[in-house]
Every structure is written in C-alpha cells, then in structure tokens.
C-alpha cells in the first residue's frame, strides 16, 4: 500500500491545526494431509556455554525434524516478529495461544527447507531483499522501515530472512516439479477466456485468505483457538497482508493472502455462502474447510465481464520530518517543511515536476504509487482525490512523519472486469502451483520423522 493510501485510515485535518495523521497498515481448495506422526522423547537442552536459566530455556529443544532441531528460541523469535510487524501489543494469553501454531508452522518450514537444500536450490540475497521491499511497499512503509523496526526491537533480521528464504525457495521447488506445466499456452488462455465469456453476468469476488492447517482433525481445538486469536487481531487493525505472510500455509502467503478475482465455481463450497453475504473488507469468522480453517476478507465484487471504474494515474511527493510531529509544538524543521509543501502545491504543474521534487526530497516514499481505482479508495482518501482536478496538486497532507502532496496525472474510465491474457495466465499458474504444493507437502509429511520433545508439551496440547 502506498503512502497516500495509508493516510486514508486517518482523519485529514486542516493545515492550521497541525494535527498528525496516524498512519495505518491495510487482505481454493486446500486438502492438506495429516501431520507426520510425532513421538515424545526425553528432554534435552542445547549446550549454550551459559548457565543462566533464561539461556537454557531459550535453547530447549522443542522438536527434531528429520534430525534438525527446533528450539524454544526459534518459536519466540517468530512470535516477536509477528508482534513487531503488526504493530499490535499482544497479551501473554494471546502469545501462549499463538505458540502452538508457530511450532507446527516451523516444523513445516523445516521440511520445506530440507527439500530445497536437497535439490541444491539457492535463494539469492537479491530475491530476499526484493521480498522485503515488497512487504514494505504493500504496507505503506518507507524503504528499510521493516529492517529498522526489527533492529529497534532487538529482533534479528535473520528471523524474517529465514521465513522468506523458505517461501521463495519453495516456489522454485514447485516450478521445478511442474516442469513444462509451468508454461501457460495461448490455447489454454483462450479456453479460459471463452469460459469467462460463457459466465458473463455472474458475480466475481476479489478475495484474500489465510489458511491454517489442522494437525489432527479429531482434535482441532488448538488450531481453532489460534484462528480466533488471529481474527481478533485482524479486527483490531493488524494488516491482513502481514498476518497472511506470517501464518497462512497457502501459496498466496507471498502475495499477502491475495487470491485475486475468483468466480463462484472456484470458491470452496464451505466458503462461498459466507463470501456472498459478508460486507466488503470485513473479516470472516473461522471457516472449516478440508484440511483446516480459513479466514477470508472480500475486497470488492463485480459482474464477470462488466465493471466500469475510474483508473487513476497519480504521483506523490513526501517531505519527511527529522523527528515525530508534536502537533502542539512543531519544530522549526517541520514548520519549514510545511512552507515548502505549500509553495510546491502552488507551483508544481506536471507529474514530471512532482517526480523531480520527490527525488530532491530523497524518495523516502515512491513517487509513483501505481495505478489506483477510484472506487476502491477508502472513503476519506476518495474525498481528497475527487477534489483534485487532473493535472493539479492536493493541499499538503500532514502525518506524524512528514507531509505528502498528491497529483492526479490522468483519469481513465475503463471496464475493469476485462482480464488481460497476462492476468489469466497468472491465475492459471497460481492454480497449478497450489495443487503441486499440496501434493508435495503431503508427501514430505508422510515420509518425515518428527519427534516432539517434552519441552513442547505445554503448548502442543493436541499431542499425547
């Protein structure tokens, strides 16, 4: 999500009030097989060279996955990563409920990473850096903001890197398994286009989801409690894309849980009735599906083949503050930034000038936030954008960390429901990748030797 969309979560106040805008974040079939059999053995502690109780506790072995250990520290680091990335304080009770799911998720990641290494697949640092940049951009963060936030909270960047390495490497495994099926042919695209034409006038839904697998279908209390905990956090403002990236066990996790536009025939029968009646941008209750639970949000609805909308081409410039804004006592630097923003809003006449201005300010926010659909903007932001004539600049928009200017370069009326061949190819490829992922994960679990240690009993209540 771009910076100007972040502002839509806050009140836009007059410049003379110097009021800060609180920036906020922004949301198919699953047939996962049973988890590999677990076996409790004698408690062991890793040798740490330290006799402190906290060090010994952190390095307690929680599980052994094909000979590879999973420690209490691994679980705690992942839990803290979630807390920091969502920006929400979590009570000890909520954290305790999260640990169960975190252990199962980390076990699955160990299995995936072992498969990645066995195939000699290498994930380049550039790929990980790009994934971090995508997370930041999707959630309206400036470059390096996520890294800096982790550092400020004494969380190793390695915790995030390890998770991204598994997600990216697993995609490479799936492409390898798909082989020639990883290429979508023009004929297949044409066939899908014809199928869509045959369904004209039927509804489509733009959906994001979080899928939480169930280890033992006979005893799903722990997973259900975890899903309810996540739903509470989402309804309290946790960004759906970040939560999906952290916890969803679906291939859409790398896209922040987004499934894109889906026809009713492609939505699970357990999910469809809820999707049809739930309000847009609401968070569903837990939905039990084959293999686990889903959490769903519907971003938008349309009729197949018809959705007229206004496509906005915009530019933005951001004047960063050197310190957080105190509306009652703005600093000299903040006052100067406001005067510069007012002057720029009165003198900038083109989008290229906006790009040059943003570059001169350090490009702390991307100048081009990407094409936006006017009808999908949050109501407050839509009010701001609707008042900006094409080719003109908005009034300065003040936030705790700086001031933004927006310019509408062009407005184009389009039929947004017409999918391009590229979009259809992506949809077909995503369906194949998800199916391949399910099959391979089931195989890995069946052949895995997983030992759950007594140290995990306090959180793994589903295992005897």
326 found inside a domain:
yes
Spatial CB neighbours of 51, under 8 Å, sequence gap ≥ 6:
none
The pLDDT score that the predictor gives to residue 344 is 93
- Report the CATH number that the domain containing residue 134 is assigned in CATH: 3.10.50.40
Q: What is the pLDDT of residue 57?
A: 59
- pTM, two decimals, is 0.57
Same domain, 184 and 266: yes
Query: Which residue has tokens 């938008």?
Result: 300
Q: Are residues 251 and 347 in the same domain?
A: no
pLDDT at 438: 78
Q: What is the pLDDT of residue 37?
A: 36
Inside any domain, residue 422: no
Walking along the chain (464 residues) 10 residues at a time, the average pLDDT comes out as 35 31 30 36 34 55 91 86 71 72 86 94 91 75 77 82 90 86 83 76 88 82 87 87 81 78 87 93 93 91 73 90 89 93 92 92 84 75 86 90 91 73 81 82 88 68 39
Which two three-digit tokens encode residue 23? Answer: 């920036």
Structure confidence at residue 87 (pLDDT)? 67
Q: What is the DSSP letter of 343?
A: H
Residue 386 falls within a domain, yes or no?
yes
Q: Which residue segment(s) compose the domain that 254 sits in?
A: 31-306+427-464
**How big is the CA angle at 281 (ends 275 and 287), to the nearest 5 degrees?**
40
For residues 7 and 71, membership in a common domain is answered with no
Residue in the block written with tokens 């995936």? 112
pLDDT of residue 459: 52
Query: Which pLDDT score is estimated for 460?
Result: 53
Residue 421 covered by a domain = no
Edge to edge, what strands does the sheet with 203-213 contain? Answer: 258-263, 203-213, 292-303, 287-289
Shared domain for 74 and 124, answered yes or no, is yes
Q: Is residue 14 part of a domain?
A: yes
Q: Are residues 301 and 312 in the same domain?
A: no
Residue 348 forms part of a structural domain: yes
Residue 400's contacts (CB-CB under 8 Å, 6 or more residues apart) are 20, 21, 22, 23, 321, 324, 325
Do residues 88 and 78 make contact, with C-beta atoms less than 8 angstroms apart?
no
**For residue 249, what are its two tokens?**
């066990």
Same domain, 66 and 50: yes
Number of neighbouring beta carbons within 10 Å of residue 336: 12
Do 257 and 319 have their domain in common? no
The whole-angstrom separation of Cα 101 and Cα 227 is 9
CB 414 within 8 A of CB 403: no
Say if residue 14 is in the same domain as residue 155. no
> How far apart are alpha carbons 106 and 79 in whole angstroms?
11
- Regarding whether 315 and 195 lie in a shared domain, the answer is no
The number of folded domains in the chain is 2
The pLDDT assigned to 405 comes to 93
Are 75 and 173 contained in the same domain?
yes
């Amino acid at each position: 999500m771009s910076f100007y969309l972040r502002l839509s979560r806050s009140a836009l106040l007059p410049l003379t009030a110097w009021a800060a805008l609180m920036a906020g974040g922004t949301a198919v079939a699953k047939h996962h097989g049973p988890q590999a059999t677990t076996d409790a053995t004698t408690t062991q502690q890793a040798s740490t060279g330290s006799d402190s109780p906290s060090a010994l506790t952190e390095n307690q072995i929680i599980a052994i996955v094909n000979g590879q250990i999973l420690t209490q520290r691994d679980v705690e680091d992942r839990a803290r990563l979630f807390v920091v990335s969502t920006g929400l304080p979590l009570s000890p009770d909520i954290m305790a409920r999260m640990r169960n799911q975190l252990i199962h998720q980390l076990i699955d990641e160990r299995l995936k990473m072992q498969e990645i290494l066995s195939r000699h697949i290498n994930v380049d640092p550039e790929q990980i850096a790009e994934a971090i940049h995508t997370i930041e951009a999707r959630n309206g963060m400036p470059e390096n903001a996520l890294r800096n936030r982790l550092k400020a909270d004494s969380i190793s960047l390695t915790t995030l890197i390890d998770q991204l390495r598994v997600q990216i490497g697993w995609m490479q495994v799936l492409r390898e398994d798909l082989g020639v099926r990883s290429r979508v042919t023009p004929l297949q695209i044409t066939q899908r286009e014809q199928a869509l034409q045959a369904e004209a006038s039927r509804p489509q839904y733009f959906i994001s989801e979080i899928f939480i697998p169930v280890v033992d279908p006979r005893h799903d209390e722990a997973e259900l409690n975890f899903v309810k905990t996540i739903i509470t956090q989402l309804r309290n403002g946790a960004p759906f894309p970040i939560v999906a990236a952290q916890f969803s066990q679906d291939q859409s996790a790398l896209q922040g849980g987004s499934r894109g536009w889906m026809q009713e025939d492609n939505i699970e029968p357990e999910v469809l009735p809820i999707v049809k009646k739930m309000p847009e941008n609401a968070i569903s209750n837990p939905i039990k599906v084959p293999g686990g639970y889903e959490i769903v949000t519907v971003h938008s609805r349309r009729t197949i083949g018809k959705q007229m909308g206004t496509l906005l081409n915009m530019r933005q410039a951001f004047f960063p503050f050197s310190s957080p804004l105190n509306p009652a006592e703005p600093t000299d630097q903040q006052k100067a930034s406001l005067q510069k923003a007012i002057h720029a809003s009165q003198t900038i006449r083109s989008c290229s000038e906006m790009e040059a201005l943003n570059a001169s300010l350090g490009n702390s926010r991307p100048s081009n936030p990407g094409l936006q659909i006017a009808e999908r903007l949050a109501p407050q932001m839509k009010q701001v954008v609707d008042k900006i004539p094409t080719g003109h600049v908005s009034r300065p928009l003040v936030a705790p960390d700086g001031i933004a200017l927006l310019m509408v370069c062009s407005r184009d009326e389009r039929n947004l429901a017409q999918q391009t061949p590229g979009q259809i190819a992506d949809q077909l490829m995503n369906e194949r990748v998800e199916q391949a992922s399910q099959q391979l994960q089931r195989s890995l679990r069946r052949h895995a030797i997983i030992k759950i240690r007594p140290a995990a009993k306090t959180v793994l209540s589903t295992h005897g």
